[in-house]
Every structure is written in C-alpha cells, then in structure tokens.
Amino acid sequence: MAGFFSVRKNGQIAVAEILEKDSKDVILNFKNLDFISSLVLAGMVYLLKLTKDKGGKLKLCELRDKVKEVFRVTDLDKVFEIYPTESEALKSFD
C-alpha cells in the first residue's frame, strides 16, 4: 500500500492522494492509478466539498487515459480542475 499513497507539502499546499488535515489546498496526483471506482469518485466529491468549506482548492493531475475517460463520461472533468502535470497544478495556485 505504501506505493499508492503519499503525502508531501509544498508550502501550504498538500500534494497528496489523501487530504492532509492542516492544509486547505490539495493536489491529487493520479500517476499510479489505472482504475477508479464510483466509491472513490464519491469520496473525491466529498473531499472537494471539504476543501471548499476550508476556503481551499482541490486540483487533480497526471490522470491516465482510462481514468481521464471516467471523468469525461461522468462530466466530473467540468467539476474538478485537472492538470497534465503536478508542476502545472502547483503553478496554478500562484
């Protein structure tokens, strides 16, 4: 499991596959994810609400084609900010 989840901070931005409690801005990096279930999608919508409630933003990056297609088909690509790379997601906070 250690290879699937990691948390690291860049200033006040949590770059993570999971929400770091003391950060309001979060980037979810999907580079190691080949499949996404409806349960995970529901959790992400909840995470989006949590970050917005804290006055923060949730951004996604490095989605593989199959995962990107799920976001497109469900119209969640219009709900979430999605970036090709983690560095582009980080820069978007400036």
Proportion of the chain in helix, strand, coil states, percent, rounded to 5? 35, 20, 45
pLDDT at 10: 64
Q: Where are the beta strands (DSSP E) in the chain?
A: 7-10, 13-16, 25-29, 58-61, 81-83
Q: Are 45 and 79 in contact (CB under 8 A)?
A: yes
Give the model confidence (pLDDT) of 41-56 as tens digits. 988 898 888 889 888 8
Give the model confidence (pLDDT) of 63-74 as tens digits. 999 999 999 999
- Supply the pTM of this predicted model: 0.78
Bigger pLDDT: 47 or 89?
89
Q: Where are the beta strands (DSSP E) in 17-87?
A: 25-29, 58-61, 81-83
User: How is residue 66 written in tokens?
Assistant: 């199959």
